Amino acid sequence: MKESNYILTPKSEIEARIKRLQENMGDLTGAIILGSINLGYFSGTTQEGLIYIPRDGQPTLMIRKSLERAAEEAAIPPRPQKSLRSLRKDLDITSGARIGLELDILPYNYYLRLAGSLGEDVAISDISEEIKHIRSVKSDYEIDLVRRAAENLDAAIACVADHLREGMREIDLAAEVEKSLRLSGHPGSVAFRRFNHSLPMGHLMAGESASYPSYVSSPTGGTGMSLFLPQGPGFARIRRGQPVLVDYAGCYGGYMADETRIFCLGSPSPDMEQAHQAALQIEEAVALELKPGRLCRDIWNLSEAEGERLGYGDHLGGPEGRKAGFVGHGLGLEIDEYPVIGPLDQKIKENMIIAVEPKMIYPGKGVVGVEDTFLTRPNGAERLTRLPKEIWRV
């Protein structure tokens, strides 16, 4: 391959992922994977195309564009993808086969074309859940990339203290954080699996802007800079005494870490300071429960009970009617991976990457709280984002 900063996925890593999927196929004949993130996960390239992974035997990687780049990047030798009309023959899919597809992300019109090319005698099932659970447990290779993302993120958020000035716009301060992230390897976008969701590199908002409502599946929204991405930093100017929310996703080699810290020119109001301390207590209580075998629903209930006990039930995760509905989420190649620390019966497993984010939302006033990225280990969780958690006074 030509000189590049790309981190290519080792062949042994790809082979282990494919084996795990094959072991979790049940009665499927195989799976056709088209989503770019999953394609990259199982092949080593995100060039346009597909990978067919049979329950038994070797996978087939077929690329439409760019075959040349896929040959340089992938751990599996690619071959050209022809039209969908010949796909069944090209993949040697027999009558009566049962094929898994990523039905949570596959557009309906593409599904219809694909189903038509496979034929009525081929059954189609959803393989999405199996893939999401496989991806939720990270290898040592993946964990190393998340560690690097966390280190870069720490440095980027810490630089806020050097640039925060009274009267500057949110977007001007955000540009400093994002410059640091980009120069350390961030691709400049954050992958989100949820339909109709996209994210800027992060949320940096001051005072009431941080509590401004938005559609995004997050405790915070912000005004943003456009009707077509109505979230994140905007043009509001930062005033003394306002809590400044700095919530960013670091990314290195495709893998993410997530972190939030609060900054302030001078000191915030005493009630916001106390709310922040309560958020720190809740994060600590949740982190202590991030052990293999624990149920996400139980951890969520604990966080809610702690919020009520401390007197912040009306603010934790948002006000009534706007609550986030979770206090943590998995991370990896996408920012909304499994597990979800919410009212779901998902179990914590060893080597999961989980962001915990108890935040106190005060409409018209601001947001305080914290977010850290944790790695689950047999006896407890390791915090990968390491900045001091107290409010940073500048």
Per the domain annotation, does 209 fall within a domain?
yes
Asked if pLDDT for residue 3 goes beyond 90, the answer is no
Please state the domain count of the chain. 2
Per the domain annotation, does 20 fall within a domain?
yes
pLDDT of residue 216: 87
Residue-wise pLDDT tens digits, 138-151: 999 999 999 999 99
Range with lowest mean pLDDT among 4-13, 31-40, 304-313: 4-13
User: What DSSP string runs through 92-135?
Assistant: TPPTT-EEEE-TTTS-HHHHHHHHHHH-TTSEEEE-HHHHHHHH
Domain-terminating residue out of 106, 134, 162 = 134
Q: Tell me, what CATH number does 168's domain have?
A: 3.90.230.10
| Cα separation, 248 vs 261, whole angstroms | 9
33 and 160 share one domain: no
Q: What average pLDDT does the chain have?
A: 96
Domain-terminating residue out of 134, 165, 187 = 134
Q: Tell me, what CATH number does 106's domain have?
A: 3.40.350.10
| Cα separation, 10 vs 389, whole angstroms | 36
pLDDT of residue 198: 85
214 and 65 share one domain: no
161 and 291 share one domain: yes
300 and 367 share one domain: yes
252 and 128 share one domain: no
Average pLDDT over every residue of 273-284: 98
Q: Which domain holds residue 23?
A: 11-134
177 and 40 share one domain: no
- Under 8 Å between Cβ of 260 and 391: no
Domain-terminating residue out of 99, 134, 169 = 134
Average pLDDT over every residue of 168-175: 98
pLDDT of residue 217: 87
Confidence grade of residue 5 (pLDDT, cut at 50, 70, 90): low
Per the domain annotation, does 330 fall within a domain?
yes
- Under 8 Å between Cβ of 250 and 378: no
Average pLDDT over every residue of 184-207: 93
174 and 124 share one domain: no
Average pLDDT over every residue of 165-176: 98
Per the domain annotation, does 157 fall within a domain?
yes
Residue-wise pLDDT tens digits, 18-63: 999 999 999 999 999 999 999 999 999 999 999 999 999 999 999 9
pLDDT of residue 73: 96
Give the residue, 144 or 4, on which the prediction is more confident: 144
Per the domain annotation, does 94 fall within a domain?
yes
Per the domain annotation, does 1 fall within a domain?
no
Peptide bond into 36 cis (omega under 30): no
Residue-wise pLDDT tens digits, 355-388: 999 999 999 999 999 999 999 999 999 999 999 9
Per the domain annotation, does 4 fall within a domain?
no
Which residue from 317, 362, 380 is spatially nearest to 343, judged by alpha carbons? 317
pTM over 0.85? The answer is yes
Average pLDDT over every residue of 297-312: 98
109 and 253 share one domain: no
Q: How much of the chain exceeds pLDDT 90, in percent? A: 94
- Under 8 Å between Cβ of 143 and 354: no
| Beta-sheet strand order (sheet of 60-65) | 78-80, 60-65, 48-54, 30-33, 98-101, 123-126
pLDDT of residue 77: 97
Per the domain annotation, does 5 fall within a domain?
no
181 and 129 share one domain: no
Taking residue 185's Cβ as centre, other Cβ atoms within 10 Å add up to 17
269 and 321 share one domain: yes
Asked if pLDDT for residue 2 goes beyond 80, the answer is no
Residue-wise pLDDT tens digits, 324-342: 999 999 999 999 999 999 9
